[in-house]
Amino acid sequence: MYILSENFFLFLEILTSQDVAMNKVVKNAEEAIQGISDGMTLMLGGFGLCGIPENSINALVKSKVKNLTCISNNAGVDDFGIGLMLQGKQVKKMISSYVGENAEFERQLLSGELEVELLPQGSLAERCRAAGAGIPAFFTPAGFGTEVAEGKESREFNGKQYIMEKAFESDYAIVKAWKGDTDGNLIFKATARNFNPLMAMAGKITIAEVEELVEPGELDPNFIHTPSIFVNRIFKGENYEKRIEQRTIR
């Protein structure tokens, strides 16, 4: 009985202490990307230029870290997003579903400086989700009978053919959210959600940059998209440009 209560008070003490190790909030992008080193695999959230972690990408460009493998649906444009990392020749390999908007990307690909693995967008998303869900592989019909299926196991279920896709392995996942709290809970805005919550679950270490950083309790638990447990580092981003690729009006 005595031991139990002692443990209980110890537990309370931990709960209420300002334990530095538990603090996920970092000052800025430079601090957030500490530990990312040459040759690592990164996941970068966003669809096109929508919902990309602008601050972290800029910090990666400044850091000059290189030989990176980047898992991201797209590769940015020449002067924005992952395109900036390509300009700095920091990327060894891109794993994407669509890379068509980037001349420097094309040049590096054709010259053999850059390797690219193209995947169906749904498979890319699901490989992130699987990684975050502790599922090593899954079967999907996308790509069966195409060059995407080469070297992959295929199997028939209920008369239909599927190929096996494996969960991604990545060292860091870097995502952009709209709102976050200092515990790491995240809320995304509109279609800037895209790959962000999937990747947030999938990184060995997940970095989240947010437009608004609030105290725990300020976000309604009913409307949180990414639970804090998946997020290791969080910071408030600055000066979001939010460039639009296809500005289309009525």
Partner 1 sequence: MLDKQGIAKRIAKELRDGYYVNLGIGIPTLVANYVPDEIDVTLQSENGLLGMGPFPTEDEIDADLINAGKQTVTTLPGSVFFDSATGFAMIRSGRVDLTVLGAMEVNERGDIANWKIPGKMVKGMGGAMDLVASAQNIIVAMQHTNRAGESKLLQNLSLPVTGLGCVKKIVTNLCVLDVTERGFELKELAPGVTVEDVKNATAGKLIVEGDIPTISV
Instruction: Give the binding site for partner 1 (CB under 8 A).
Output: 47-51, 73, 96-100, 106, 109-110, 116, 118, 120-123, 125-126, 128-129, 140-148, 178, 188-198, 225, 242-250
For the bound state, the minimum distance from the C-beta of residue 202 to partner 1, rounded and expressed in Å, comes to 11
Taking the complex as a whole, the smallest distance from the CB of residue 110 to partner 1 amounts, in Å, to 8
Distance of alpha carbon 16 from alpha carbon 142, whole angstroms: 49
| Furthest-apart CA atoms within the chain: distance in Å | 72
How far apart CA 56 and CA 59 sit, in angstroms, is 5
Residue 27 vs 247, nearer CB to partner 1: 247
Report the C-alpha gap between 45 and 196 in whole angstroms: 5
Rounded to the nearest whole angstrom, what is the least distance from the CB of residue 99 to partner 1 in the complex? 5
Identity of the residue, 87 or 121, whose beta carbon is nearer to partner 1 in the bound complex: 121
Q: Which is nearer to partner 1, 101 or 181 (CB)?
A: 101
The nearest distance, CB 95 to partner 1, in angstroms, is 11
- DSSP line for 17-72: S--GGG--B-SSHHHHTTT--TT-EEEE--BTTBT--HHHHHHHHHHT--SEEEE-
Q: Which is nearer to partner 1, 66 or 144 (CB)?
A: 144
The residue with tokens 């580092």 is 233
